């Protein structure tokens, strides 16, 4: 599945209709969730049928396309299924009980309710909401894909305008020659990552750089009277500031992950639990600003595209264990140099990266060789399935901070 995004242009009345469609989606989703709470043994198909019942009961629901209503009920079921899955797996802490949505920002159509123009530069929505024809501007060309390959069309509201997303059913892959190289990555806060060759990448710290402007924008919002037009304008400015930082993080993660995946046949990295790490309030902001998880998602995605092996290894004792002799040398976080009795003296992060690579090679059964068979590049050693990667990618495009 490939997701292409375009900026949508239209009149003010059209975007008011888009806002009305988004509110209707939120209403159907919350109603479906309430129906699940009030009744026993409700499944996905029951929620789809209930969306048709809502269309008969509420005229504004009937104005929305039938498949868009089904997509709304599927969003409720997605939250319910995730809750069931966490309960079955015995996930520690909160299980993610489904909650009522307060700030929905998108409406999703399936294969009906929309029509692309012949030039593929505009789209017309044909339901009764009155959205009409919107112009599309972007860097990608929809002429490369057939209409029947477009499985979903989504309208997303962001701080700087409205966007149209096309979910296209196609497998993306690129043919690249084997490089004969392997690499281990140790992420950190001083540098974004240090690899097993001793090379480091600077941590960009986008939030820290833009924090001064963010604080000033937040103060301007706080000074305005609640409900006033000036407060709305100030909130929009603040939202654009947050959106810029979010896009900077994504751009950095995508470019860096693509470069690493193209340059190496095997990439080993730490299987970090970011959710647990951010419980340390002294480092939470810096960890979130580094965006390690987003980098990992894109690294695994490009690993699939370029047919590279990506391996997530257990990070336990990677910094303490000597990469030369294997002895455990305990050290605090402030100790940045690894010194062992065997005579090994290297940077702490480089030592960890070497241990990560060693474990990664041991996991896929290639210990002792730096040449990887390209036919094994899509084997079970890939730590994340493509479907999971793409669903996370699509979800990240929809979710934004309620402050925006």
Mean pLDDT for 27-36 is 95
Question: Same domain, yes or no, for 193 and 116?
Answer: no
**Global pTM value:** 0.82
Question: Same domain, yes or no, for 162 and 190?
Answer: no
Question: Same domain, yes or no, for 40 and 142?
Answer: yes
Helix H or strand E encompassing 134 = strand 132-137
Does residue 235 lie within any of the structural domains?
no
Question: Same domain, yes or no, for 344 and 366?
Answer: yes
Question: Same domain, yes or no, for 81 and 22?
Answer: yes
Does residue 174 lie within any of the structural domains?
no
Task: Tell which of 168, 197, 217 closes a domain.
Answer: 168
Backbone angles phi, psi at 32, to 5 degrees: -65, -40
Mean pLDDT for 18-44 is 94
| Cα 150 from Cα 167, distance rounded (Å) | 6
Question: Same domain, yes or no, for 191 and 335?
Answer: yes
**What's the pLDDT tens digit per position in 127-165?**
999 999 999 999 988 999 899 999 999 999 999 999 999
Question: Same domain, yes or no, for 148 and 192?
Answer: no
Looking at every residue in the chain, the average pLDDT score rounds to 86
Question: Same domain, yes or no, for 134 and 187?
Answer: no
Token pair listed for 1: 């599945």
Quote the number of domains for the chain. 2
Strands 337-339 and 309-313 turn out to be unpaired
- The angle that helices 12-38 and 44-57 make with each other, rounded to 10 degrees, is 120
Does residue 403 lie within any of the structural domains?
no
**What's the pLDDT tens digit per position in 394-403?**
344 444 434 4
Question: Same domain, yes or no, for 154 and 186?
Answer: no
| Cα 18 from Cα 9, distance rounded (Å) | 12
Does residue 368 lie within any of the structural domains?
yes
Mean pLDDT for 162-174 is 91
Any residues with CB less than 8 A from the CB of 353 and at least 6 apart, and which?
184, 185, 186, 193, 194, 195, 196
Does residue 35 lie within any of the structural domains?
yes
| Cα 66 from Cα 69, distance rounded (Å) | 5
Of 109-123, 206-220, 383-397, give the lowest mean pLDDT range: 383-397
Task: Examine the pLDDT at 304 and tell me if it is beyond 50.
Answer: yes
Does residue 97 lie within any of the structural domains?
yes
Question: Same domain, yes or no, for 64 and 114?
Answer: yes
Q: Which domain holds residue 331?
A: 182-206+246-398
Question: Same domain, yes or no, for 12 and 34?
Answer: yes
Question: Same domain, yes or no, for 59 and 82?
Answer: yes
């Amino acid at each position: 599945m490939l997701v292409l995004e375009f900026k949508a242009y239209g009149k003010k009345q059209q975007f008011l209709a888009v806002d009305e469609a988004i509110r209707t989606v939120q209403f159907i989703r919350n109603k479906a969730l309430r129906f699940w709470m009030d009744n026993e043994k409700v499944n996905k198909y029951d929620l789809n049928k209930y969306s048709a019942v809502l269309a008969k009961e509420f005229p504004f629901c009937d104005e929305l396309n039938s498949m868009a209503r089904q997509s709304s009920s599927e969003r409720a079921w997605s939250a319910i299924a995730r809750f069931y899955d966490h309960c079955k797996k015995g996930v520690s802490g909160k299980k993610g009980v489904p909650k009522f949505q307060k700030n929905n920002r998108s409406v999703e159509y399936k294969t009906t309710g929309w029509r692309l123009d012949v030039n593929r530069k505009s789209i017309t929505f044909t339901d009764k909401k009155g959205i009409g024809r919107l112009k599309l501007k972007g860097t990608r060309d929809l002429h490369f894909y057939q209409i029947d390959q477009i499985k979903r069309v989504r309208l997303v509201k962001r701080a700087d305008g409205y966007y149209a997303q096309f979910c296209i059913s196609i497998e993306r892959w690129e043919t690249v020659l084997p490089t004969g190289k392997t690499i281990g990555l140790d992420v950190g806060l001083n540098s974004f990552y240090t690899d097993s060759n001793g090379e480091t990448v600077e941590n960009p710290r986008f939030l820290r750089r833009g924090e001064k402007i963010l604080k000033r924008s937040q103060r301007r919002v706080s000074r305005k009277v609640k409900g006033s037009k000036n407060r709305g304008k100030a909130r929009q400015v603040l939202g654009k500031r947050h959106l810029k930082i979010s896009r900077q993080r994504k751009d950095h993660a995508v470019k860096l992950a693509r470069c690493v995946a193209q340059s190496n046949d095997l990439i080993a990295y730490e299987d970090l639990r970011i959710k647990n790490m951010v419980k340390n309030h002294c480092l939470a902001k810096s960890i979130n600003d580094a965006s390690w998880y987003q980098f990992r998602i894109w690294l695994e995605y490009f690993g699939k595209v370029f047919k590279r092996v990506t391996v997530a290894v257990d990070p336990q004792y990677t910094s303490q264990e000597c990469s030369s002799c294997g002895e455990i040398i305990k050290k605090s976080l402030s100790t940045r140099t690894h010194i062992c009795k065997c005579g090994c003296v290297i940077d702490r992060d480089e030592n960890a990266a070497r241990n990560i690579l060693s474990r990664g090679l041991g996991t896929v059964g290639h210990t002792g060789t730096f040449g990887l068979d390209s036919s094994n590049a899509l084997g079970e050693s890939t730590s994340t399935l493509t479907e999971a990667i793409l669903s996370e990618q699509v979800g990240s495009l929809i979710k934004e901070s309620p402050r925006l």
